[in-house]
Amino acid sequence: MQRQQQQQQSKQAGKGEGALLPAAGSPSSSSSSSSSNSSSSSSSSTGRIRGRMPPPVPNPSSCSSSPSPPKCLASASWIASFLAATYQQLPTADPHFCAMVGHSLARLGIRPSPHWMERYLCVCTQCCLPTAKPVELMCIARTLSVWRVEPGPSWAAAFMARFATILPQATPKQAANTVLALAHLRWPPPPPLLVKLQQQWEQQQAEQVGLADIQQLLRAAPLLPGLDVSWLERLLAHHVIVHHCSAGAPEAPRAVEDSGWSEQQQMAVVS
């Protein structure tokens, strides 16, 4: 009887089924498992391990080249599903949702389709800009700058009006990043708004303005007509002197770059 069972299992192994074992705990599974048939099952083409469930087979599409940067582990199918879901939620989204969705996609290196971005801009104009907070405006502006989407004059006017209203609530980093993003969008803030920013920074303590924030505006000065570079240079010199004296270091402090948003970063386009 035992020899007949072994012959039957060997025939099943030839059909590619010998590696699959009966359910755990059944009498036939324990009695029919011997050292002779274990070697044949382990050498079968399926590569399954006795007594264990087979590992999940990866999706071949996920093993192909990903459209996103190396740090993004999301597959193309997941990205497509995410974009489809957020596209349906955009009409009822609040400013925080719009800011975080766009910010996350941009940081992952995902550029949605023009149809998706058209709805995103429409929702931002009608629902987000009137009530957006400084950090939300910053995320929206930087998202569009990374996507290289140039909004129309009406959108830029609405954004500038809201930015001017909430500028006193913005931190120096939020203000600098927003101005830099607008400059990259070829919609620089008007000179009166830059003057307002200058007055606000001069009233704040120098320690509240980061060295990287000052250097960002200095680099973007050619894109910001009406920006008085001299006060930024004075602020930079004061910042260096204060940091130099407090640290007691013989060398000037190094600038801390804003993580993940440098000009050299390129985005992958999701077709």
Q: Per residue in 97-115, pLDDT tens?
A: 999 999 999 998 899 999 9
Most confident of 26-40, 59-73, 220-234: 220-234
Q: How far is CA 145 from CA 142, 181, 187, 244, 252, in A?
A: 5, 6, 10, 34, 31
Residue 159 counted as domain residue: yes
User: Does 23 score more than 80 pLDDT?
Assistant: no
Residue 181 counted as domain residue: yes
User: Does 165 score more than 60 pLDDT?
Assistant: yes
Residue 17 counted as domain residue: no
Residue 82 counted as domain residue: yes
DSSP H helices, 75-206, are: 76-89, 95-108, 114-123, 134-147, 153-166, 172-184, 191-203
How many domains are there within the chain?
1
Residue 268 counted as domain residue: no
Residue 53 counted as domain residue: no
CA distance 124 to 118: 10
Domain range for residue 163?
Answer: 75-254
Residue 138 counted as domain residue: yes
Q: Determine the 3-state secondary structure of 22 from DSSP.
A: coil
CA distance 181 to 173: 12
- pTM of the complete model: 0.62
